[in-house]
Amino acid sequence: MRRWTFMFFWIVIGAAGPSDALDEVIPLEPPSFFVQLAGGYAYRDIDAASTSSQSFAGEEIQEWAADGRITIPIRWGLGVRAQAAGDGANSKFDTGSRFELVGAGGEAQLFWRDPTKGQIGLGYGYSWLTSTTPSSIDSVRIQSLPVYASLYMPSMNGVAVDWNAAFRYDFLSLQSAGGNVNQWAYEATASSIWYVNDLASFEAGVRYERLIKDQQEDVLEGKFSLEMLIPTGGDRFFGSLALAGGVGRAERMDLAPPTPSVSSLTWRVGVQATVFFPGVQSLLELNRAYR
């Protein structure tokens, strides 16, 4: 199955050839609407540091997410973006125990964008996670402050590239029967998107996250995705499909009192389907003028 999937993507990439649309100046457009559905599988291999005698189990994770988004240009390149999302994860440990989380939230952003140069923006988000199985924590409330920027490079030899960077600060409130515990976290990401032609793009990037107070956790993850427009029989496209994957390593330890660190290695694969309006003629137009 994997062999035929990659053959299909390479046929699409080769058949379309170098894109003429990559050199076009893309104007700002009317409001855009997005709906995304995603699902994935992850496996986390957990093992204790050599200074600990504890034994830890592996964890299988089934993930899903859905979100809707609207982007509204205002004037002089300024615009606003609003997003509502829901997600969940079902974890099964090698020991047979299970753990399930569901969550929802929203985010509002203000940005400036020039489709020929790049964009910068900031926002505020609020979300919550709830455990549907018995656990020491009933729910988590998260307030987020994201800042992001993108640099759009012109086409060279038929290939255009976007360089993206983002930073997010999170304030977490963990609620349980024993009381509330506050934690802080921050995340930094960097990635690049390579537009092979109008129909296909490849993205690769890295993510670093740190959770602090009482318990410290450091996560470093590499990720990639391959996205293609879904043909609709006309000269414009209204949907895309993406295959994604990633590998990451985490180190966690309690600070009060200090305990030996626990490391874990996680790999994940997933698929994402996106429906959007208005229609576009290329992924470059989709990302630089609408998304």
Q: In this predicted model, what pLDDT tens digit does every residue of 158-199 receive, in sequence order?
A: 789 999 999 999 998 887 767 778 889 999 999 999 998 899
What per-residue confidence (pLDDT) applies to 262? 79
> Which CATH number do you get for residue 148?
2.40.128.130
What's the pTM?
Answer: 0.81
Give residue-wise pLDDT tens across range 24-44. Answer: 444 556 889 999 999 999 998
Closest CA to 88 of 146, 127, 58: 127
Give residue-wise pLDDT tens across range 76-117. Answer: 889 999 999 999 999 888 777 888 889 999 999 999 998 889
Tokens of 10: 């390479």
* Whether the predicted pLDDT of 4 surpasses 80: no
Output the CA torsion 276→206→201→146 (10° steps). 30
What per-residue confidence (pLDDT) applies to 50? 41
Give residue-wise pLDDT tens across range 245-289. Answer: 999 998 877 665 566 677 888 999 999 999 999 889 999 999 988
What's the domain range around 11? 2-290
For tokens 């060279």, the residue is: 156
* Whether the predicted pLDDT of 235 surpasses 60: yes
**Number of folded domains in the chain?**
1
Closest CA to 274 of 235, 233, 242: 242
